[in-house]
Amino acid sequence: MAKKTEHWLNVLKERLASPAGSGVPVYRYFAEVFSGLIAGGLIRPGTRLPVDREFAELVGISHITLARGLNELRKKGLIERSRAHGTFVAHTMPGNREKMPLVAVLFDDITPEVICSTIFPSLYNELAAQGCRMLFYSAAGDSATQSRQLIEIFRNTGCIGALVWSIMTPADLAAAMACKPTNWPLIFLNVHSEGPLEADSICYNSGEAVFELTRRFLASGGEKVKLCVSGDYQNNPPWQKIKAACDREFGPGTVTFEPAEFLARQWNDRILVLTNFRALNMPKRRNCVRIAARNDRKGVTGPAVYFHLPAQAKTAVKLLQRRIASPQSAYRHLELPCSLLNMGQLDLTSGGEK
């Protein structure tokens, strides 16, 4: 545990053991002391707290008492609790949230892949750290819906910028961009435009990762690469762009899309599968590379194309802040590199049926 974290935990434990809390229920005194440490700056906004049982042991109180104390802090808006992401000290104190500027975040959909990835909480935390509130939109996988949402945001005078995970077709994107005010801060997280675009973009060069894996596999004697990806990939511009580039590079039909059901089939050694479906409840197969998006690459097991989404979120929010502070017409289109992890576990030798 970091030295700074140990310090505030030690201070909290000492004060809970002091006579000052006599006559006050322990859970209530815990909440009062914790609140004071936040106000005094010893516990910083956004600090992640230990898991409850460990936290209780570290400060010398029972698990039940801790739970009651944390509930008091939650009701006051001083902490935020989530089953998926744990317990954090709130980035902003109650009474200040309504004064924070709004930044819209547009996602393609709310799916298990999105919820279990790190992009959503990373964007939320980065925006909060910059003093902004998130105004969240989900297009439910529909291009026209996302286009209408973006137009609505452009007309929202309380919104100072937007971050978009786009699923818009070229026509829907053009319709939305026609309504964009000049120099309005807008950043795309997953796609570059084919032509001039009055917006910034910060995305991963997933196309190059697909190219590299395909080149390696074909050179080893393989024949086909199958993309088993979630969502409406047939109408998803980024995936279609990668597919078209692969057709030009390796010949039509070398790289093709397959539905999720393909993952449950048997395929021979001359086929390489790339998938962004989570590994949970999926059989372990040779010649299968997963597209992983996590916070810690140590948690990625097996061959994977690795995207460090917290780094993308941090870069995007920093660029958004610069765009808000200094509007300009020269837009930036950045491609972050992917990492190919655990490739030594991948069997790239062609052969017969498994």
Range name among 27-36, 202-211, 288-297, 316-325 with the lowest pLDDT average: 288-297
Task: List, for residues 127-145, the tens digit of each pLDDT value.
Answer: 888 888 888 898 888 899 9
Q: How many CA atoms lie within 13 A of 178 on its CB side?
A: 8
pLDDT for 99:
61
Range name among 65-79, 89-103, 243-257 with the lowest pLDDT average: 89-103
φ and ψ of 91, to 5 deg? -70, -30
**What is the amino acid identity at position 123?**
L
- Give the residue-averaged pLDDT of 184-201: 80
Q: Which residues contact 4 (CB under 8 A, 6 or more apart)?
A: none
The pTM assigned to this predicted structure is: 0.63
Q: Which residues contact 73 (CB under 8 A, 6 or more apart)?
A: 31, 34, 35, 79
| Overall fold of domain 100-203+309-336 | Rossmann fold (3.40.50)
Contact 149, 137 (CB under 8 A): yes
Distance of CA 30 to the CA centre of its chain: 33
Architecture of the 3-89 domain: Orthogonal Bundle (1.10)
Task: Quote the tokens at residue 278.
Answer: 């989570």
Average model confidence (pLDDT) for the chain?
A: 82
pLDDT for 257:
93
CATH 3.40.50.2300 residue ranges for the chain: 100-203+309-336
Instruction: Evaluate if residue 61 carries a pLDDT over 70.
Output: yes
pLDDT for 236:
74
pLDDT for 4:
45
Architecture of the 206-308+340-345 domain: 3-Layer(aba) Sandwich (3.40)
Task: List, for residues 204-223, the tens digit of each pLDDT value.
Answer: 888 889 999 999 999 988 99
DSSP alpha helix (H) spans, 190-308: 206-219, 237-250
Instruction: Evaluate if residue 2 carries a pLDDT over 50.
Output: no
Look-up of token digits 């009474």: 95
Range name among 111-125, 187-201, 237-251, 325-339 with the lowest pLDDT average: 111-125
* Spatial distance between the Cα atoms of 43 and 122, rounded to a whole number of angstroms: 20
pLDDT for 255:
95
CATH 1.10.10.10 residue ranges for the chain: 3-89
Strand segments, DSSP code E, in 206-332 are 224-228, 255-257, 271-275, 288-293, 304-307
Q: What angle do CA 43, 45, 48 make, to 5 degrees?
A: 75
pLDDT for 352:
38
- Give the residue-averaged pLDDT of 235-255: 88
Instruction: Evaluate if residue 164 carries a pLDDT over 90.
Output: yes
Beta bridge pairs of residue 322: none
Instruction: Evaluate if residue 282 carries a pLDDT over 50.
Output: yes
Instruction: Evaluate if residue 350 carries a pLDDT over 60.
Output: no
pLDDT for 47:
87
DSSP tag of 88: E
Instruction: Evaluate if residue 279 carries a pLDDT over 80.
Output: no
pLDDT for 281:
47
Contact 199, 328 (CB under 8 A): no
Contact 144, 138 (CB under 8 A): no
Instruction: Evaluate if residue 32 carries a pLDDT over 90.
Output: no
Instruction: Evaluate if residue 353 carries a pLDDT over 70.
Output: no
